Amino acid sequence: LTEKLQNIFKNLRSKGRLTEDDVKEALKEIKRALLAADVSFKVVKDFIKNVQERAVGQDVMNGLNPGQMVIKIVNEELVKLMGSETTEIKLQPGSAVTVIMMAGLQGAGKTTTTAKLAGKYKLKGKKPLLVACDVYRPAAIKQLQVNGEKQGVEVFSMGENHRPANIAKAALEHAQKNGNNIVILDTAGRLHIDEDMMAELQEIKETVTVHQTILVIDAMTGQDAVNVAADFNNKIGIDGVIITKLDGDTRGGAALSVKAVTGKPILYVGMGEKLSDLEQFYPDRMASRILGMGDVLTLIEKAEAQIDDEKARQMSQKLKKAQFDYEDFLESTQQMKNMGGLSNIMNMLPGISGMGGMGKKGMQINEEQTELAEKSMARMEAMIYSMTPEERRNPDLMNPSRKHRIAKGAGVDISEVNRMVKQFENMKKMMKKMGNMGGKKGKFRLPF
Ligand code: GDP
Ligand code: MG
């Protein structure tokens, strides 16, 4: 069995690398897909160029053909580009009032989204105040009032005969008196980018302190989204973006364009006309939607799972024989990186995912810890690379003079080498124990 596994393992490594032709060919297809999703031409061009540089020469994963491998890389880059995680609108600390200004073209969904947001904040125990700053259309004020009422939140309006900046100022005073801790300004849009509109938004910003300026973009804007976003960001400065109307059949390339040109996070997505249809933005879901290659992505996921499986199985065999050496140690750290995270491998390690109290929920790992861990992993790698092959394969060789040499080679302090050796010994011990437990009692079964 072991031999068979080792063969599989070898195959994982000897699949060859992506050639320039592989990459070019696959990227043609991807370019077409992105343009069809309405990603701006310029963004597509830059993106393709970056991916090309990254992809050529990469190993092709087992179970994938070169084209699929390129798609895998593209998908990862798309996720990276859109921000690796969800972002919240930043509120002022404590009971201080947060002023949020909604901006965007007419019909983008500002008024609707204002009411949607208010509902979310109300659920969180906040006391929002919605402010009717669109003084150009009587219907706009009414629309906000109707929506505010539906959400059970207060709406502040002064009719149509005041400057939006003055309305905002009065509203803020009202909020301070009435204990509203979030003030959302629903402003007027125009059909196109317009100097008056920008001036009006600027005047609001000069009159009251706006903590968060949120740009609302209609996903169906298509190629134009990129200009709209750049203009708003340059002229008034935005803090985040909400993309609306993603419930339609557009693939939502606007999201990618907007993020690429402004660098500002996408906060929420509008998924319908109902006031509950506002969802958190998930970069990975958006990436696969824009790419529109769901089938291939599923296949890639399966291939990834399989590789993790094979590697884990092989590791488990070694553990049972207590053969765990520095090569394995190194490999396990590299695997962590490939698999994109510490929490992943934590769940894969024998004993950890199997033990009730320390399962997924008990092992919440935050971003900061992950970063620290990644840095220490990099140093650990440097130390292991500074060992001779014999030292790697035979951990018992380790002695003070070897440790000094390794420390020097890796450019770290000797204490760090000591710590790493201890970590290694601990891991070896722990894994061996877990392996034995699994064997004898069958109580703690290895997760692979
Ligand atoms: P504003 O001019 O920016 O204030 O835009 P509105 O809030 O008045 O919205 C314009 C239209 O878009 C309205 O008919 C809304 O119901 C609709 N709308 C807004 N957000 C969404 C969404 O996420 N999905 C769908 N399908 N329609 C939306
Ligand atoms: Mg409106």
Reported as a single tens digit per residue, the pLDDT across 147-205 is: 999 999 999 999 999 999 999 999 999 999 999 999 999 999 988 888 999 999 999 99
Q: How far apart are CA 282 and CA 272, in angstroms?
A: 17
Which atom of ligand 1 lies closest to the CA of 114?
A: 7
Ligand number nearest CA of 109 is 1
Q: Is residue 438 over pLDDT 50? A: no
Quick one: tokens of 264?
Answer: 């500002």
Helix (H) or strand (E) holding 269: strand 266-270
Q: Is residue 219 over pLDDT 90? A: yes
Q: How far apart are CA 39 and CA 258, in angstroms?
A: 9
Going from the C-alpha of 386 to that of each of 116, 157, 326, 379, 446, the distances in angstroms are 57, 70, 11, 11, 32
Going from the C-alpha of 165 to that of each of 23, 98, 101, 188, 209, the distances in angstroms are 53, 16, 11, 12, 11
Mean pLDDT of the chain: 84
Task: Give the mutation target among 101, 111, 112 for probing the ligand 1 site: most ligand atoms within 8 A of CB.
Answer: 112
Expressed in angstroms and rounded, the spacing between residue 397 Cα and the centre of ligand 1 is 69
Ligand number nearest CA of 279 is 1
* End-to-end CA gap in the chain: 15
Instruction: Take atom 5 of ligand 1 and give the residue whose Cα is closest.
Output: 109
Q: How far apart are CA 297 and CA 65, in angstroms?
A: 13
Q: How far apart are CA 214 and CA 266, in angstroms?
A: 9
Instruction: Take atom 16 of ligand 1 and give the residue whose Cα is closest.
Output: 273
Ligand number nearest CA of 273 is 1
pLDDT in tens, 111-127: 999 999 999 999 999 99
- Residue with tokens 């072991």, as numbered in its chain: 2
Q: Is residue 138 over pLDDT 90? A: no
Torsions phi, psi of 184, nearest 5? -110, 120
As a CATH number, domain 98-281 is: 3.40.50.300
Look at 94 and 331; give whichever has higher pLDDT.
94
Q: Which of 9-13, 100-104, 105-109, 357-361 has the lowest mean pLDDT?
A: 357-361
Q: Are strands 240-244 and 182-186 parallel, antiparallel or unpaired?
A: unpaired
Q: Which of 125-139, 159-173, 218-232, 324-338 has the lowest mean pLDDT?
A: 324-338
Which atom of ligand 1 lies closest to the CA of 270?
A: 23
Pocket of ligand 1 (CB under 6 A): 104, 106-112, 189, 216, 244-245, 247, 270-273, 277
pLDDT band at 42, cuts 50/70/90? very high
Q: Are strands 240-244 and 266-270 parallel, antiparallel or unpaired?
A: parallel
Q: How far apart are CA 136 and CA 130, in angstroms?
A: 17
As a CATH number, domain 322-440 is: 1.10.260.30
Contact 243, 279 (CB under 8 A): no
pLDDT of 295:
75
Query: If you write DSSP's letter for every residue of 88-104 in order, what string do you get?
Result: PPPPPSTTPPEEEEEE-
Expressed in angstroms and rounded, the spacing between residue 274 Cα and the centre of ligand 1 is 9
Q: Is residue 439 over pLDDT 60? A: no
Q: How far apart are CA 414 and CA 46, in angstroms?
A: 45
Look at 295 and 335; give whichever has higher pLDDT.
295
Expressed in angstroms and rounded, the spacing between residue 156 Cα and the centre of ligand 2 is 14
- CATH 3.40.50.300, the chain: domain bounds: 98-281
pLDDT of 124:
92
Q: How far apart are CA 373 and CA 345, in angstroms?
A: 12
Contact 297, 288 (CB under 8 A): yes
- 402 bridge partner residues: none
Mean of pLDDT values over 373-387: 84
Quick one: tokens of 126?
Answer: 């906040």
pLDDT of 185:
98
105 annotated ligand-binding residue: yes
Judge residue 4's burial from the number of C-beta atoms within 10 Å of its C-beta, 0-12 exposed, 13-18 middle, 19 or more buried.
exposed
Expressed in angstroms and rounded, the spacing between residue 134 Cα and the centre of ligand 2 is 7
Quick one: tokens of 37?
Answer: 């999703």
pLDDT of 342:
52
Going from the C-alpha of 411 to that of each of 49, 169, 397, the distances in angstroms are 35, 59, 21
Q: Is residue 290 over pLDDT 50? A: yes
108 annotated ligand-binding residue: yes
- Residues near 183 by beta carbon (within 8 Å), at least 6 away in sequence: 97, 98, 99, 100, 128, 129, 131, 171, 172, 175
CA nearest neighbour of 132 among 91, 176, 104, 163 = 163
Task: Give the mutation target among 244, 247, 249, 266 for probing the ligand 1 site: most ligand atoms within 8 A of CB.
Answer: 244
pLDDT in tens, 233-282: 999 999 999 999 999 888 999 999 999 999 999 999 999 999 999 999 99
CA nearest neighbour of 437 among 316, 310, 309 = 316
pTM, full prediction: 0.69
CA nearest neighbour of 291 among 70, 119, 125, 64 = 70
- CATH 1.20.120.140, the chain: domain bounds: 2-85
Q: How far apart are CA 335 and CA 344, in angstroms?
A: 10
pLDDT of 447:
40
- CATH 1.10.260.30, the chain: domain bounds: 322-440
Centre a 10 Å sphere on the Cβ of residue 299 and count the other Cβ atoms it contains.
17
Mean of pLDDT values over 434-446: 43
Contact 62, 12 (CB under 8 A): yes
Torsions phi, psi of 278, nearest 5? -130, 120
Contact 220, 253 (CB under 8 A): no
354 annotated ligand-binding residue: no
Look at 99 and 377; give whichever has higher pLDDT.
99
Ligand number nearest CA of 134 is 2
CA nearest neighbour of 184 among 265, 242, 127 = 127
Which atom of ligand 1 lies closest to the CA of 269?
A: 23
For 2-85, which CATH class? mainly alpha
ipTM topping 0.90 = yes
